[in-house]
Structure 1
Amino acid sequence: MKTLFDETQLSGLNLKNRFVRSATHDGRADALGHVTQELIEHYEELAKGGVGTIITGLTNVTDIEKIVPTQMAIYDDSFIAEYKKLTDAVHRYDVNIFVQLVCNGVQSSSKNPGALWAPSAIEGEPTVAGATEMTKADIQSMKDAFVNGAIRAKRAGFDGVQLHVAHGYLLSRFLTPYYNRRTDEYGGTTENRARVVLEICRDIKEAVGSEYPVLAKINCDDFMDEGLAFAECKRICKMLEAAGLSAIEISGGSALSRPNEGVIRKVTPDTESYFKQYAEDLAEALNIPVICVGGHRDINKLREIVSNTKIEYFSLCRPFIREPYLINRWASGDTSPAKCISCTKCFGVPTQCIFNK
């Protein structure tokens, strides 16, 4: 029978337990996305806390887009030595670390110069305000940036990469019918809207080797009119599996999601693990591991899920902001629920729990 503290393997990588720190904006990089000592210490603290695998905050792969101050980046080779210090610090605690690769698209409030890329420019739509509709050349530049980011990540000692294909960031918007109104091979059918993500996945695997883990975080549903729905998500995940993806983290929601159906929700004992039903369904359909994120608070409920489903891993975000040592606490026998109260007052610069200030 599976347990939460099983040692497992993912693409040949040893994972000491089934707990993952889900990608979380940390707000500790510098103005151009470079590593700071505060960022290194932040990840070292997480590694000390007992989690088996860490996925970094969203890390921009290109400086063609507007650089967001305090967001991590990996757009040129100068980042490699910096991140090597970070990965070395994490690896001292027998913890794996993946870097989450992203293009922000229009979800950027940065005042720095640069593009606000979108699959389509939509007149009168405030969530696409100021967007540049991507040309084929832009799409190729974006694809190259993701591949080069993965190459740098491997050289810097990251154990794998995760593509951010969720929450309304650029790759996610290519999948969403409302945002993607293109009439070329990157728009229209499910296959066309998924094409750029599939091409990036294949190109990365070719560049870094078939054994190097490549994950994706994807919306089960956009929870909005004309959004990506779960039936399409499942089809796309099967395509990604065929393209060589190593694992899927299933999330959901974005800026236009219906109230309390976005990615970050108020959590009560009755609404914990709010993407569990989608992750469970997807785990039955795929042969690669599924990581379930979203509102996990009670270890006893997670034990029930891991015992009765094919879900392999559980990722947490806000609980680790309040309690970086949560997994050590649970492992020691104190299995009271996570102390996070889901107030979502933690996301600032830097990201930190209001109870820890």
Structure 2
Amino acid sequence: MKLLFEEAKLGKIVLKNRFVRSATWENMTTEDGHLTKELINIYENLAKSEMGLIITGYANVMKEEQPNHGMMGIYDDSFINEYKKLTELVHKFDSKIIMQVAYGGTKTTYNVGKRLIYAPSEIAEQSTNVVGKAMTKEDIDLVINAFVDAAKRIQESGFDGIEIHAAHTYLINQFLSSYYNKRTDEYGGSLENRMRFLVEIYNKTREKVGNDFTIVVKLTSSEFFEGGMTFDETRLICRELESIGVDAIDITGNIHGKAKSMIGEAFDGYELQKEGYFVEYAKVISDEVSIPTISVGGFKDISKIENILNESNIEFFALSRPLLAEPNLIKRWKSGDKKSAICISCSKCRTDQGNYCVVFNKKNN
């Protein structure tokens, strides 16, 4: 029998349990993406609360490419020393921490019209209606190198690994999607070509950081609309990523905050679940690849999570909103109190003053 509170290996990282704080945009940095005392306190409290792995909020790899206010930066060397202090703090409590990196692209409404936004093709993003500049080969190389340079800074900062965000209609996801990617060069057309951007980011990152640094890729299970990226395509992408050496896959979905209303609906042959929205998709992926699969979205009942752990090959479970409502949730579960998380999934935690639970855990508590 597999246990949630046992050591488990994610790539080259040994975690003290199978719980992951999913990457969460906290909206609490300085204007240029540097850490604040408030944000450091959030990570310290997560580490104190028995979290096995913390994935940071997404960090922008290019200074001018900031899809949201208050997101972390990793676009130049000025971040390294402060992140060294952060990783040392987290490690003091025997938690591990990896940084998520992303290029948001047209999945943004922040400072639109004031900056250049890249996209694979000039197709409006469905939720924002923003259109970006179709990238040239030189633009593609520029962004790839930005990811690679960011990865080296992350390694030098003492992080245990990196998560490449290739989901949620951000730039890499758009390259993977036949809906958003209408290119006719080597980066468009066939799935192999549409994967090329992600594969090149991974391969060049691996060259830069070496084989002992853990690299996770976050992928959408499905785009959940007609003509979008399908789960069958995601399955093929996962197999390719395993073959080239990616250490783990984090399975999510492009549902733009509508998960609760979509529970029970079937897409690509699988239903969104109340406990673990995308768990049916993650189960399939976990059967088809030998590298660890992380499932994220809607987890609140530890007994049900334990059942999923032992009825599938999913190895790790990521939470976000429940930890905003109840920062000590994992510690409580470990102590033997297995009541479900108090989070009511109202999604009111995204505020202009930062992400925090407005119901149970006010910002200044």
Instruction: Give the TM-score range, shorter chain.
Output: over 0.9
Residue 66 to residue 318, structure 1, CA distance change in 2 (3 Å) = closer
What residue is the counterpart of 2:92 in the other structure? 92
Map 1:149-160 → 2, pairs under 5 A: 149-160=150-161
C-alpha deviations, 1:74-101, integer Å up to 9, x for none? 0000010111111111111100000000
Q: Give the match for residue 43 of structure 2.
A: 43
Report what 1:301 is aligned to: 304
CA separation in 1, counterparts of 2:191 and 2:83?
36
In structure 2, what is the equivalent of residue 241 of structure 1? 242
> How much has 1:131 moved relative to structure 2?
1.3
Q: Distance in 2 between matches of 1:256 and 1:119?
A: 24
In 2, are the aligned partners of 1:74 and 1:149 still within 8 Å (CA)? yes
The equivalent of 1:71 in structure 2 is 71
The alignment covers a number of residue pairs equal to 351
Identity value in percent:
44
| Other-structure match for 1:137 | 138
Please, which moves more after superposition, 39-48 or 102-111?
102-111
SS of residue paired to 1:57: coil
Task: Give the equivalent residue in structure 1 for 2:350.
Answer: 347
Cα pair 1:33 1:67 within 8 Å, conserved = no
Show the counterpart of 2:165. Answer: 164
- Whether the 8 Å contact between 1:22 and 1:293 is mirrored in structure 2 is yes
Deviations 1:32-64 (A, max 9, x none): 111112111111011111110000011111124
Cα displacement string for residues 136-185 of structure 1 (whole angstroms, at most 9, x for unaligned residues): 11110110011011100000011000000111111111111111111111
Whether the 8 Å CA contact 1:60–1:101 is kept in 2: the answer is yes
- Whether the 8 Å CA contact 2:278–2:296 is kept in 1: the answer is yes
Matched residue SS, 1:225 = coil
SS in 1 for 2:81: helix
Following the alignment from structure 2 to structure 1, what is the Cα–Cα distance between the partners of residues 127 and 5? 45
AA in 2 matched with 1:106: T
**Corresponding residue for residue 109 of structure 1:** 109
CA offset at residue 254 of structure 1? 4.4
Question: How many Å separate the matches in 1 of 2:241 and 2:17?
Answer: 25
Q: Which amino acid aligns with 1:295?
A: G
* C-alpha deviation, 1:195, in angstroms: 0.7
TM-score, length-scaled by structure 1: 0.94
When structure 1 is superposed on structure 2, of 216-225 and 9-18 the one drifting more is 9-18
Do the aligned partners of 1:119 and 1:133 also contact (CA within 8 Å) in 2? yes
Q: Is the contact made by 2:127 and 2:256 (CA closer than 8 Å) also made in structure 1?
A: no
Gaps of 5+ in 2: 264-271
Measure, in 1, the Cα distance between the counterparts of 2:126 and 2:254.
18
Q: For 1:285, which of 277, 283, 288 is the aligned residue?
A: 288
Q: Which amino acid aligns with 2:17?
A: N
> Does the 8 A contact of 2:216 with 2:250 survive in 1?
yes
SS at match of 1:248: strand
Instruction: Provide the aligned C-alpha RMSD in A.
Output: 2.0
